């Protein structure tokens, strides 16, 4: 099993809809969790950190489920500009503090 796994998609979602992605991780010795957004041919940009109690930033909500070892990202009222690839990232305590990135989930918002 890969350390960090994501459904590659693409998710084709109409504008205004709600969409959610999950990201599973295999190592319980995980410390920090993040969601990044990557536009085509650009660098990954930090979207939000994921906190144990869950956190929200505008239309974006991130959740952590340690028992089932996954994090989730929910996007409400999706916009055309949300079309991108979303990468999850996990820092494992026993991996020299490196961050392991998932391969990303592609999201297409349809007009």
Distance of CA 93 to the CA centre of its chain: 19
Q: Residue 32 corresponds to which tokens in the numbers above?
A: 């920090």
Instruction: Provide Rg for the chain, Cα atoms.
Output: 13
**Which positions from 71 through 90 interact with other proteins, judged by CB under 8 A?**
87, 89
Type and span of the H or E element at 14: strand 11-14
Residue of 39, 56, 77, 97 interacting with other proteins (CB under 8 A): 97
3-state SS, residue 82? helix
Q: Residue 65 corresponds to which tokens in the numbers above?
A: 């489920």
What's the closest the beta carbon of residue 52 comes to other proteins, in angstroms?
13
Which CB, 46 or 80, lies closer to other proteins?
46
Residue of 11, 25, 34, 92 interacting with other proteins (CB under 8 A): 34
Name the site residues for other proteins (rule: CB under 8 A).
31-32, 34, 41-46, 49, 87, 89, 91, 96-99, 101-104
């Amino acid at each position: 099993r890969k350390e960090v796994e994501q459904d590659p998609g693409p998710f084709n979602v109409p504008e205004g809809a709600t969409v959610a992605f999950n990201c599973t991780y295999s190592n319980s010795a995980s410390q920090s969790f993040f969601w990044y957004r990557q536009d085509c041919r650009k660098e990954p940009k930090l979207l939000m950190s994921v906190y144990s109690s869950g956190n929200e930033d505008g239309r974006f909500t991130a959740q952590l489920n340690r028992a089932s070892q996954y994090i989730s990202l929910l996007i409400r009222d999706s916009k055309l500009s949300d079309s991108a690839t979303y990468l999850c990232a996990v820092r494992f305590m026993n991996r020299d503090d490196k961050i392991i990135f998932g391969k990303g989930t592609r999201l297409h918002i349809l007009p």
